[in-house]
Amino acid sequence: MRKSVWALIRAAFVLLVLARPVAPGYVAAAEPVRVGYVHVFDDAPVLVARDGGFYERYGLNVDVQAFTSGPTLAKALVANRLDIGVMGFTNALTWAAQGAELYIVGKVQNGYHSLVTRADSGIKDLDDLKGKRIASQGAGSTADIVLKGVVLPAGGLKASDVQLLYTDPSTALQSLLAGRVDAAFLFEPFDRMFRYQTRAREIYEVGTKWPFPCMVIVVSGKFMRENPTGLSRFLQANQASIEFMNKRPEEAAALLAPQFIPEGYIESPNGRVPAVQIIREALATQVFDWRITSSDVSRMQELMEIMLVQGLLKERVDIGKIVAVTGEANRK
């Protein structure tokens, strides 16, 4: 089915790119759209678009639904319980490889994952991790794929050379602080929080050493064909949200802080640190971008090869058939 509809999908997307953008504040019949996201900092543009009113400004009536993991979000998208999903590229690839008619139409964020340890741990380089305990996200998650396939090999290590303990980021942070693990693979704002709570040492940060398109916008072929207006408006709102975050980080941090640090602060050896301060600093570490570049596509190819080696894919996927990007509107 993918081959039979691809030409029509490409043509529809070209029309979207060439269509006149909806001006901010434009009043039109609101397009109902069901959007799923994973409640992690990587998907922050969804929250900014929702709480900052960007969806409404672009004529959308969005039902935003939070998910605890990419696989559960992808299942909802495949089952037609969602129209659009903001999720990890690896989850989209996994389902596309199984025949699901899903397409990547935009980007949200380049992967930020920091492998950190306590400054007094004696661990200074990746090769010092041999035999050590590392806390990370679930097996088969994007973080796990990159940790095993990129980070550890950069130090000449295999997954079997370390002890991987899979847990949620909050528990990973607390385990590292308490000394129950030797290192942790953290994303924001947990990385900032760790650095405030103890003397920290960064061993490897993926976003600077191996940037890749971590979070992408995924749609079903059905929604792409049947609601091109809703899709076009969503992509514009996503772009506007990211531009707002990049240009006005203080205001973006104020919107995001209650979502990630509801207490309003964290305790540190030097006293309380305001949540807005932590989130503002976390934003500065990120690369949020709506455009898919040729470098991103190359990284997608590399990730696919890594997933094949790890046994997460049975066969290669034609990336060109699932990344629906046309023209310059979505490229640098």
Contact 121, 180 (CB under 8 A): no
Predicted confidence at residue 325, as pLDDT, reads: 60
Q: Is 211 left (phi over 0), alpha (psi -120 to 50) or beta?
A: beta
Measure the CA–CA gap between 291 and 323, rounded to whole angstroms: 12
Does residue 44 sit in the same domain as residue 124? Answer: no
In a domain, 230, yes or no: yes
Read off the pLDDT band of 24 (50, 70, 90): low
> What tens digit of pLDDT does each residue of 81-118 get?
999 999 999 999 999 999 999 999 999 999 899 999 99
Give the SS3 label for residue 80: coil
> What tens digit of pLDDT does each residue of 50-68 get?
999 999 999 999 999 999 8
Measure the CA–CA gap between 45 and 108, rounded to whole angstroms: 7
In a domain, 331, yes or no: no
DSSP 105-134: EEEEEE---EEEEETTSS--SGGGGTT-EE
| Alpha carbon 282 to chain centroid, angstroms | 14
Does residue 21 sit in the same domain as residue 52? Answer: yes
Domain end residue (candidates: 209, 224, 258)? 209
Q: What is the mean pLDDT of residues 28-55?
A: 91
Listed residue (276, 284, 282, 318) closest to 300, CA to CA? 318
User: Whole-structure pTM over 0.95, yes or no?
Assistant: no
Predicted confidence at residue 280, as pLDDT, reads: 98
9 has pLDDT over 90: no
Does residue 104 sit in the same domain as residue 25? Answer: yes
Predicted confidence at residue 265, as pLDDT, reads: 97
In a domain, 330, yes or no: no
Number of alpha carbons in the 13 Å side-chain half-sphere of residue 16: 26
In a domain, 327, yes or no: no
Does residue 104 sit in the same domain as residue 216? Answer: yes
Predicted confidence at residue 1, as pLDDT, reads: 44
> What tens digit of pLDDT does each residue of 133-159 get?
999 988 889 999 999 999 999 999 999
> What tens digit of pLDDT does each residue of 233-274 get?
999 999 999 999 999 999 999 999 999 999 999 999 999 999
| Alpha carbon 192 to chain centroid, angstroms | 17
Does residue 18 sit in the same domain as residue 144? Answer: no
Read off the pLDDT band of 29 (50, 70, 90): low
Does residue 88 sit in the same domain as residue 56? Answer: yes
Does residue 91 sit in the same domain as residue 158? Answer: no
Contact 63, 33 (CB under 8 A): yes
- Per-residue tokens: 147: 């940790």
Does residue 83 sit in the same domain as residue 150? Answer: no
For the sheet containing 287-288, what is the strand order?
60-67, 31-38, 84-88, 213-220, 102-110, 287-288
Does residue 222 sit in the same domain as residue 203? Answer: no
Domain end residue (candidates: 151, 185, 209)? 209
Q: What is the mean pLDDT of residues 179-186?
A: 97
Can the peptide bond before residue 45 be classed as cis, meaning omega within 30 degrees of 0?
A: no
- Per-residue tokens: 48: 């900014």
In a domain, 328, yes or no: no
Does residue 90 sit in the same domain as residue 123? Answer: no
Does residue 133 sit in the same domain as residue 261? Answer: no
DSSP 168-210: -HHHHHHHHHHTSSSEEEE-TTHHHHHHHHS-EEEEEEHHHHS
Q: What is the mean pLDDT of residues 171-190?
A: 96
CB atoms within 10 A of CB 94: 20
Q: Is 139 left (phi over 0), alpha (psi -120 to 50) or beta?
A: beta
Measure the CA–CA gap between 12 and 8, rounded to whole angstroms: 6
Q: What is the mean pLDDT of residues 287-308?
A: 96
CATH code where residue 306 lies: 3.40.190.10
Total domains in the chain come to 2
Measure the CA–CA gap between 9 and 321, rounded to whole angstroms: 10
Read off the pLDDT band of 4 (50, 70, 90): very low
Domain end residue (candidates: 158, 193, 209)? 209
Which domain covers residue 204, as residue numbers?
114-209
